[in-house]
Every structure is written in structure tokens, then in C-alpha cells.
Chain A
């Protein structure tokens, strides 16, 4: 339990650090980006200007500590300010629309990728002296070296432009009724290519982790004993080796979530998929700092929560952690 409490403490502290970075970043950057922005925005309504000035500490007489306190209080109230590019919509409303799309796309794609990758990894380790396994590992090392966004571009070119099997972007056909099976089908069709991009490019990581863990386990004495006893191969592979190799793989999964989410964000940007990633891209282009900050906080929080869930899994699966050994 002590292990668990430490983990939770760490995640909460990480959230606090993310919030603090968010606060200090625009204030510490050379060239004072926020006042630069305020100077450029002559056309926007004065009340919006005021809220931006307050949020970014431009022309304020409050000390940094008081500004920081106000910022924290606002966050606690769930007030992220007003979006500049979509004035006067509050940032939280803008986020609410984007979040379900991202969660659906990235969540599903990541789970599928992890499961398929782990299965391939197991078989690559088990058959590691066969050419097919060597080829698979090599192939995925190569695929993993492509930038996420570039693989997305390639998929768009091949499967949406050259062979128009899938739509080029968006999350569902415009103008259709948002209920019923036509809508569901449209969502699946639009989500297929982005999901495929995430699955294909992240799968290599799971394959390699699982393969290496599994090879490590296969070198253990208890596997040799099991082989000597003449236990059926299937039993050794599944129950003796894979089961024990899975645990570090799940830890690895938790650790790489940040990368996976990053890749997902890029995929959304390339496909114009209306999730948090695309919104972040648009916010950056429009210099919509309040929206940008809120998105960064949300993504950080989401990754931390996912980490927490992975920790709970480890707690359930690993007897050493569960029984409080260390």
C-alpha cells in the first residue's frame, strides 16, 4: 500500500508541476509573448482583452505570488478563461466538444495496438531464431522510425487520395443526422485511417518490449525446469513465460503513455480529426494562449489518470506490490 500511496503522491505532484509550468511559461519567456499578443489584438472586445491581461499578467500591479494564487483559485473553480480565437466561448466549453473524439480515437487505438503488439511480441520471442521473427522485428523498428504525422500523410495519400476508400479528414460526414446506424458507420469510416496510423506506429514499441521481456523470462531457470519436465509447449509459452513477461510490459505501457498521446495528437492534426490534438494545433496557430494552456493541462491530467489506472492494474496483478513486500 505504501508503494501505491507513493505513486499517487507522485502523480498529484506531477499535476501541480504541470500547472505551475503553465503559469510561469508565458511570464518567463524572452520577448514577453503575452504582451506582444495584447499589443497585436486591437480589434478584440475590451472585456476579452482584460481577461487575457489578467490571465497572463500583463499590465497588472499584483505581485507574482498573488497572480499565481488567483490562477490556482480559477483553476479550482474550473474557470480556464475565454478562448481568444472562438470568442466569447469559454475554454472549457471548447474542450468539452473535443474530448470525447480524442478519448474514443486514442483510447481504442491504443488498446488494440497494445493487445496485437503484445501477442506478436510473444510469438517473436518464442520463435526468435526463425527468419520470420527477425523480419517482423526489423520491419517494426523501421516503421517506428517514421514520424507519426508522416505515416498519417502516407495513409491519406494511399487510402484516401489514390484509392479513395476512406474520407480525407473529419470525424463524420457533414450534414448527416447525429443518431442511428448511418452516423455510427460514418464515424467508424472516418476514424479508421487515424486509428490505423496510431495502431501501426505504436505497435512496434509493444512488440519490442514484450519480445525482450519474454526473452529475459525464457532464460530463467524455472523455464528450463519446465522444459526438462516435459510440460506441453503451449503451457510453458502461455502460463510460464508470457504471463510473467506481461507485468513489466504493463509498467512499460504506463511509462510510454505520454508518447502515445503525443502521437495521437499529431495524428489528429494531420487528419483534421476534431479532437484535442487538432484543437491544440489551431490554438497554437491562432496564438490562443488560454485555450492552448487549458489543452496542455487537460492532456497532462489525462495522462496522469491513465498512469494511475495502470498502477491499479499492477497493484492487482503483481503479488509483490499487492502483499506489500516492497
Chain B
């Protein structure tokens, strides 16, 4: 599954214009603690979080994550979008809660 598939199937609102939407997702990690993501997310994972500030891009880039989904209608800060475009990291927003997005993705990704 690619991030493009996720954006389409979960009707996510894509907030960035650059970045590879066709990279294969290796799994998903859910956390709002950045050190936790650094320690436990795996390369190619999709990251679900409430954090909207630019440091999420630095963490995602360092861990070579596929993309970030912001939940509960949160939108990335302006600086976050700028940094994400620079790093070619896609970020999308969802109206759904972290629990709902996580649940939907768990069903799709576990098989």
C-alpha cells in the first residue's frame, strides 16, 4: 500500500505538494512523543500524530518515514509545510481521531 492509496481511501486532505506518494508503506506508528517515534518507528512507516510544529518533519526525515497524518482536523503550521516541501515529505490532515485513523489503517496494513 502507498500513501496515495491511504489519502484516497481515507479521504485525507493533502497539505503538501511535493514528496513521493507512491512509496510503499511498511507499517504505521502512532505517537505524539517525538523521542518515542525516534526510538520505535521503523523506516517507511506512516506516522499518525497530533503534533503540528516543524520538528515532526525533522523526526520523520531522520527516520525516513513515508508520510505524516495529522488527526482531529489539525493542520500543519506554515513552517511545517515549508520544511516538509524542502524534505519532500507528504503531510495530510484528517477529520477523524487518532483512534479512528489507526483502526482503519490497522485493518488495511496488517494483512
| A, B assembled together | no
